[in-house]
Every structure is written in structure tokens, then in C-alpha cells.
């Protein structure tokens, strides 16, 4: 078989896949959004535009799927390995203070209060 045949076959399959994904997106949007959020119905081309917009906003166009922060991983591995136990605990505590919700601490015990 000629190489042009495979290229045409892949192109037709790609166009059909894009059309199918666009149709599924349009159908799901028109089924859910108007009833749940009182939003508008969309057409096929708007569904494709929505898919492209979501690709731009939530994913990268790069070839690797390792994430946009993957280049920091070796740096932090070596930094973590070179830290002492005290430094690690201090780092963990700072991260908890910055990113975790504060835990409610029990009220301080008052020794002057009498139990009845």
C-alpha cells in the first residue's frame, strides 16, 4: 500500500474523532447546562471552541505529559536529601501553616475553675 493511503486514512479518522468529540460535548452541554444552570444551548462549532478553550486553559500544547512543574522535581529531591531531620520538620511545619486549614486547638485548661 502507498504511504498516501495511510495519511489519508489517519486524516479521515482524525476529522471523524474531532467531530465525534465535538458532538458529544455539544450533546452533554445541551443536556445538562440549560436544566442545571439555566445556561444557553450551544451549537457544534461552539462546542469545538469550548474544547479548544479548555485545552488552552487547563493543558499545555507541549509534547510531554509530565506536567509543567516536572523540571523542579530533581531540585527538590536533592534539596530534601541534603536537609537534616530538624530542617525537614521545620519545612513541613511551615507548609502546614501556610497551606493547611488551622486545626482547632482545645481550650486551655483553667486550674482555678472547679468541677461540679
Question: In tens digits, what is the pLDDT along the chain, a chain of 116 residues?
Answer: 677 888 999 999 999 999 999 999 999 999 999 999 999 999 999 999 999 999 888 886 655 555 556 677 888 888 889 999 999 999 989 988 888 766 665 556 665 655 55
- Domain membership flag for residue 6: yes
Q: Which domain holds residue 47?
A: 1-60
- In angstroms, the CA 42 to CA 24 distance is 12
- Domain membership flag for residue 31: yes
- Domain membership flag for residue 27: yes
- Domain membership flag for residue 35: yes
Confidence (pLDDT) at 20: 96
- Domain membership flag for residue 28: yes
| Angle separating helix axes 3-37 and 44-58, nearest 10 degrees | 90
Confidence (pLDDT) at 12: 95
| Overall pTM > 0.85 | no
For the chain, the domain total comes to 1
- Domain membership flag for residue 111: no
Q: Residue 26: CA atoms inside 13 Å, Cβ hemisphere, count?
A: 14
Amino acid at each position: 500500500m502507498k504511504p498516501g493511503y495511510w495519511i489519508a486514512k489517519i486524516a479521515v479518522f482524525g476529522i471523524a474523532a474531532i467531530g465525534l468529540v465535538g458532538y458529544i460535548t455539544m450533546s452533554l452541554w445541551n443536556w445538562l447546562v440549560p436544566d442545571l444552570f439555566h445556561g444557553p444551548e450551544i451549537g457544534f462549532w461552539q462546542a469545538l471552541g469550548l474544547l479548544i478553550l479548555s485545552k488552552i486553559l487547563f493543558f499545555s500544547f507541549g509534547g510531554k505529559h509530565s506536567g509543567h512543574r516536572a523540571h523542579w522535581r530533581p531540585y527538590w529531591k536533592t534539596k530534601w536529601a541534603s536537609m537534616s531531620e530538624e530542617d525537614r520538620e521545620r519545612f513541613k511545619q511551615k507548609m502546614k501553616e501556610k497551606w493547611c486549614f488551622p486545626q482547632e486547638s482545645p481550650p486551655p485548661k483553667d486550674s482555678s475553675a472547679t468541677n461540679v
